[in-house]
Amino acid sequence: MIFTILGTPTENDLEFVSDDKALEYLRSFPNKVKKDYTTMFPAAPPEAIDFLEKTMKFNPDQRLTIDQCLNHPL
């Protein structure tokens, strides 16, 4: 279900995964394209879309930190 929204993880998204079996499993999924949040939530303000883009990441190293979330203009 996660990949239906976020798309299938890229190699860059998988950089934090160190277990070979986990990597093999994640790479076995069919390719899915990331959904467009503006299409999913047409009434959402741009700040909300920006927040989603910056927090809904497969790789936790690429997500906003809690401090960045608290300071987001949402």
What's the number of domains the chain is made of?
1
- pTM of the predicted protein model: 0.85
Q: What is the pLDDT of residue 74?
A: 84
Tell me which residue range forms the domain holding 7: 2-70
Q: Which two tokens stand for residue 61?
A: 């190293």
Please write down the HEC assignment for all residues of the chain: CHHHHHCCCCCCCCCCCCCHHHHHHHHCCCCCCCCCHHHHCCCCCHHHHHHHHHHCCCCHHHCCCHHHHHCCCC
**Is residue 59 pLDDT above 90, yes or no?**
yes
Per residue in 11-35, pLDDT tens? Answer: 999 999 999 999 999 999 999 999 9
